[in-house]
Structure 1
Amino acid sequence: MANLQGNTSSTVHQEYLSAAVEIARKAGEEIRTTFQLKKTIEIKSSPVDLVTETDQKVEKLIISFLQNKFPDHSFIGEESTEAGSHCELTDNPTWIIDPVDGTTNFVHCFPFVAVSIGLSINKENSVGVIYNPILDEMFTAIKGGGAFCNDKPISCSKQEDICKCLAIAEVGSSRDKAHVKTKLGNIAAVIDRGAHGLRSLGSAALNMCQVARGGGDVYFEHGIHCWDMAAGAVIVTEAGGTVIDPKGGPLDLMKRNVIAASSQQLAETISSCLTHIEFPRD
């Protein structure tokens, strides 16, 4: 891999990034192989919260690879957490993994699917790798080292005006009527304030990457998980954007809510539009 970030990044962080990129590509090969095939689908929290054999296989592949390289590190994975593993973020270097972010997209062959691998050190988002193997786009970032897509620097739009912004949001997998009503109301509130439009890719990780590359100006969602946003938070921040709790405070990965924006001003404006939903912590 050419040009692993800027000179401000430490050698050890480069090692972590290289490992994450290597296994993301291997995981991506598995996803590409099965993308067009018939999937075996299971249901998790709701009839639209799906998991496939590929999700489970890819997560085991990623964790096994990283455990072998970094045996003292901790791990949080979406599928292992769903299977009953303890989900706890400590100061220890912790890999936070979503093996197939956008599983519903994967099931329907909609090409916005990502491997998302974040590394938290001392509870700070330090390394982020998000790979869309269908479109072959690799987003990477190290804290203090800038953000990249396929080794080329990317940056947020710096847009501050909600009336000139393209927003990104999701309804999510919860079908609780109150949650759905509030989320749709939040989307309407942002449009009513003058946003140019709204997009939904069906992947929190790739939504955040769009903000990082300037393809969208703000993304907001309630009810996602730490593995959905750990890698994306590093990438957006290193691209010059801001990532906060929707209520306006610092991002708390375990709180399950996020605003990722091209500027602090836009993030605060979006925050003021939203009716907030509290979910149980990860």
Structure 2
Amino acid sequence: MTTSDSDKCWGECMDVAVEVACRAGKVVQEAVKHEKSVSTKSTPTDLVTEADQQVEELIISTLRDKFPSHRFIGEESSAAGEKCILTDSPSWIIDPIDGTCNFVHNFPMVAVSIGFAVKKELEFGVIYHCFDGTLYTARKGHGAFCNGVRIQVSKEKDVSKALILTEIGAKRDPATLNIFSGNIMKLLSAPAHGYALTYGLHCWDIAAAAVIIREAGGVVIDTSGGPLDLMSRRVVAAGTHEMASYIVQQLQPISYERDDSDPGVQK
């Protein structure tokens, strides 16, 4: 396949991703109105609902019908024991309800997230905000958009003029909480706050957003400062290289099992 052919093919795949993300988002909107059947996965704060499973099935079955040779990595199928392996094949990386805890509590920060990778490189990402219908899209080399309007990250290099967002994730054992608290204290005592700080992300949490951030001019790297490894569960995202470098230097990493550990996903 030539570069031109693959560019056209991935563009068509993205069009389908937008369509199915919007359809899935409507299902989530309807599910919010009804009583939810909730259970837990790895921890009491790692929630799953019937809607998560139904929406993932809708997305994967729709995509598989159109692209039978492609591979699929979904949060709920991985939690159910399917191996979470990223190969060189065209691969869809899906979070059917990104923000399940928010969904359970009717807090309006819930999205459908679909990323797409070829040869382990991210090609595009689609994120549909289920409550207000906001659609974020990005394709490698084609820019990032919000409802069709091009977007760009702030290029502020003075991190003391930026903001900090933190989220601890589902893993809350004493060792993790201790490192998290230490990192927060270190960051808050320094004259530099300009990034989002989260813990325990999986590939389906990262894939779509990483493309959007990069295409909006931002930086997405490993916590070591090297290239992003989607399956490592380690990521730093920032508006500029200067900010990303600062974060890498400040934080003490927390150890997580890789998403491609066998069997399935280890929390």
TM-score over 0.5 for the pair: yes
Tell me if structure 2 keeps the 8 A contact 1:41–1:52. Answer: yes
Residue 189 of structure 1, CA deviation: 1.9
Residue 262 of structure 1, CA deviation: 0.2
Match of 2:263? Answer: none
CA RMSD of superposed structures (Å): 1.4
Residue 35 of structure 1, CA deviation: 1.4
Tell me if structure 2 keeps the 8 A contact 1:34–1:54. Answer: yes
The answer to whether structure 1 residue 84 and structure 2 residue 81 are counterparts is yes
The answer to whether structure 1 residue 183 and structure 2 residue 180 are counterparts is yes
Matches within 5 A, 1:164-179: 164-179=161-176
Residue 153 of structure 1, CA deviation: 0.3
Give unpaired runs (5+ residues) of structure 2.
260-267
Match of 1:256? Answer: 233
Residue 37 of structure 1, CA deviation: 2.4
User: What is the one-letter code of the residue matched to 1:274?
Assistant: L
Corresponding pairs, count:
255
User: What is the one-letter code of the residue matched to 1:186?
Assistant: N
Residue 169 of structure 1, CA deviation: 2.2
Question: How big is each residue's C-alpha offset from its partner over 1:168-198, in whole Å with a ceiling of 9 and x where there is no partner?
Answer: 22111112111122112222222221245xx
User: What is the one-letter code of the residue matched to 2:56?
Assistant: E
The answer to whether structure 1 residue 46 and structure 2 residue 43 are counterparts is yes
After the TM superposition, list the runs of 4 or more consecutive aligned residues in structure 1 that deviate by more than 4 angstroms.
none
2:21 alignment partner, one of 5, 10, 24: 24
Question: How big is each residue's C-alpha offset from its partner over 1:11-68, in whole Å with a ceiling of 9 and x where there is no partner?
Answer: 2222011100000001001100011322110010111100000000000000001001
Match of 1:193? Answer: 190
Match of 2:127? Answer: 130
Give unpaired runs (5+ residues) of structure 1.
1-6, 197-216
Match of 1:33? Answer: 30
Residue 221 of structure 1, CA deviation: 2.6
Normalising by structure 2, we get a TM-score of 0.92
Identity of aligned residues (%): 50
The answer to whether structure 1 residue 280 and structure 2 residue 257 are counterparts is yes
User: What is the one-letter code of the residue matched to 1:176?
Assistant: D
